[in-house]
Amino acid sequence: MPPQSINATVTNLLLLGKEGERKMKRILASIIVFLFVFSSFAVSPQKIHASDNVIFQDDFESYPVGSFPTGGWELVYNGAGTEYQKITDSVPPSKSFQLVGRYGWSVVTKRDFSSSASLIGYEVSMLTTEYAGGAYCGFLNQPIAQWGRSYATVAFSDGYLVSGESQLQTFSLNTWYRVRVVLDRNARTWDVWVDGVLRAEDLVEAHDPYEILSFQLSVQWLMIYNYYDDVKVFETTPTPNIKVTAFATSKSGCSPIPSVAQNYTLAAKVNVKNESPSECTFNVTFLVNETEFAFFENVTLSGDSAVEITSTWNTTGYSLGTYVIKAVASTLPGELDTLDNNSTDEVVVVTLIGDINCDGYVGIDDIFMVASHFAAEIGQPNYNPNCDINDDGYIGIDDIFTAASHFGEEETP
Ligand SMILES: [Ca+2]
Ligand SMILES: [Ca+2]
Ligand SMILES: [Ca+2]
Ligand SMILES: [Ca+2]
């Protein structure tokens, strides 16, 4: 939202005729856009970022009360008057930066910085004293347009904290809110947290965020007192994260219980997703009762992509009984969320060959069960993985014959 004086604009309108009229329309259109109550965004799990590389920060403690902060801050538009835009200790708990607009004239303060990082962000504490609010902060390119261009803003507006065109949450008066914004300049999207909670994700920036020259603390054209504190502008990098999104064996879901015949095989399949935008390399281990049975080394995934890895567990040499099968993706350097690198546990019983129902005996009921699923292929409703003894995805005459050839066998206690 550009700063503007309605009075000045009306004067311009009279002086400039058609051009002034067009300008007035543009300004009114942007006011309408700003005041519109926007749809809220779904909140998804918090993206964690690695430690921030601070470009500048300011807690405003080093400046005398009543002064305008030095240290790179500039007053671009003076709102209610230069004397209002000052350091104060009137709002607990510490000194803060008071900005007051006035009807028809904004406050814009900015501090220039330069960064070529693709991920830049800011954190700031902000407080307002009336529901109309007016405080808005964010990135800025002041010279690029007549009233400057703002990027990835957060504002108090008519009872809501708003970012860009998205309503984040309601706010209370005279209450500090800690805002964090991370802007992805390549993707032209940004995320917003309020008091540590992700409130909006992947908001779309229309202009090129590499144009950004400054960070701004501003107030709309209302005679309202707003306060800022603990500003931090930073570069950051996404924390690497891989996640196991699915895991199953070729017997998963089978009734009465997933089983595999002794000396035969089952397939175990894991899906792993790279949740960060950078390429990563990791290992995947398949385990049975916590002992490795398959190992995939140096799996490489490009950013935001996924892979499916299938291994085979050969039960030869394993005694009859219940086993837990799972897969684990190794931890990436710097990865914080490692819980999601583990798959769920899949339980499977190693049985006598042909003991489809896992009752310790190869009976006519088992052979009948295989026969009743004859000719079913994997993916078809009649396909029962327990009956596919050789795990080739088809319940064939060979499976029936295998079961029949073990008829009458019984587990020895
Ligand atoms: Ca302070
Ligand atoms: Ca992870
Ligand atoms: Ca049986
Ligand atoms: Ca088969």
CATH 2.60.120.560 residue ranges of the chain are 6-235
CATH 2.60.40.4130 residue ranges of the chain are 353-413
Give distance in angstroms: CA of 382 to centre of ligand 3.
Answer: 19
Identify the sign of the CA torsion 401, 407, 412, 413. Answer: positive
To which H or E segment does residue 378 belong?
none
CA distance 138 to 359: 67
Give distance in angstroms: CA of 339 to centre of ligand 2.
Answer: 6
pLDDT of residue 55: 97
Give distance in angstroms: CA of 166 to centre of ligand 2.
Answer: 30
Give distance in angstroms: CA of 125 to centre of ligand 1.
Answer: 9
Q: What is the architecture, at CATH level 2, of domain 353-413?
A: Sandwich (2.60)
Give distance in angstroms: CA of 323 to centre of ligand 3.
Answer: 18
Q: Which ligand is nearest to the CA of 349?
A: 3
Distances (CA, A) of 226 to 87, 99, 101, 130: 12, 5, 9, 9
Q: Which ligand is nearest to the CA of 124?
A: 1
The 3-state DSSP class for residue 10 equals: helix
pLDDT of residue 276: 86
pLDDT of residue 239: 78
CATH 2.60.40.770 residue ranges of the chain are 240-351
Fold designation for 240-351: Immunoglobulin-like (2.60.40)
Q: What is the architecture, at CATH level 2, of domain 6-235?
A: Sandwich (2.60)
**Which amino acid, one-letter code, is at 36?**
F
pLDDT of residue 273: 96
Series of mean pLDDT values for 10-residue runs along the chain (413 residues): 38 44 48 36 43 92 98 96 98 97 96 96 98 96 95 97 96 98 95 94 95 97 96 90 96 90 98 91 98 98 95 97 98 89 97 96 97 96 95 97 97 86
Give distance in angstroms: CA of 354 to centre of ligand 3.
Answer: 7
Non-local CB neighbours of 287 within 8 Å, separated by 6+ positions: 293, 325, 326, 327, 328
pLDDT of residue 49: 56
Q: Which ligand is nearest to the CA of 330?
A: 2
